Structure 1
Amino acid sequence: MFPPVYQTLRASAAVVAIVGDRIGAHGEVPQDTARPYITWFTVADQPQDQISGSPCADFDAIQIDCWHQTDAGIRALATAVRDAIDAVGVSNRVRVNLREPDTKLYRVGIEADFITQR
């Protein structure tokens, strides 16, 4: 229900070197946030039900969006994020790879499957 997304990303020196603490939950950061940055939000949450009692874990599908001004920068940031979530054994895949027409920022969206023990 509340996976350690922020903690996982902040534990990566490569991610911190690129975005510092500019990591926003709920898919947003303040409008005046310096670029590059990361946003993330829950796509789906499901308890791991069992017949012998309360669920022992939650399965959360999380979308982590990387935002950068340059193509080379977005590649470096998305790679750092992927490596950070790989390091903790979280399955992931790219869902979005584009340039936003309004902001002109490059965006890579990575969906990650966190299983969090209760």
Structure 2
Amino acid sequence: MTAPIFKVCAASPAVTALLGAGPTRLYPHGEAPEGTAKPYVVWQVVSGSPLNYINCVPSTDRYGLQVDVYADTASSADDVVVALRRVIAQQAYITGFGIDTRDKDTHSYRKGFDVAWLVSL
């Protein structure tokens, strides 16, 4: 199992209005296909563990995700972050804010945040 970030985000009209549908430009493993239109989002698992109990086997796993938005403009990146946060926060926890920069080679704006997602087994 893994965090259902794609399923949750792709079901949101606010997210698909910005990232498209069929395909929704939200990619796992921290990589998007070369030539992907912007804005797009990549996510990756950066930590995780079962929620262990003394008297039984774990029934829940915790996934720590890093989510990064790439866009042509700062305002577009901001719009995507806001839409993602609104939908993700209904199912998981936003735990921190990461990078907020502009890539010197591609000139893409990049904004990121971290998520803790509890997944029942």
The normalised TM-score by structure 1 is 0.94
Is 1:55 aligned with 2:58? yes
Identity among equivalent pairs (%): 30
Any idea what SS the aligned residue of 1:30 has?
coil
- Residue number in structure 2 paired with 1:9: 9
CA distance in 1, matches of 2:57, 2:89: 29
User: Which of the two has greater helix per residue?
Assistant: 1
Give deviations 1:81-118, integer Å, cap 9, x for gaps: 11111122x21121111111121111111100000011
- Residue number in structure 2 paired with 1:94: 97
- Residue number in structure 2 paired with 1:70: 73
Is 1:117 aligned with 2:91? no
Gaps of 5+ in 2: none
Aligned residues: 117
CA distance in 1, matches of 2:104, 2:58: 43
Alignment of 1:31-46 (within 5 A): 31-46=34-49
Amino acid of the residue matched to residue 18 of structure 1?
A: L
Amino acid of the residue matched to residue 8 of structure 1?
A: V
Gaps of 5+ in 1: none
The normalised TM-score by structure 2 is 0.91
Any idea what SS the aligned residue of 2:55 has?
coil
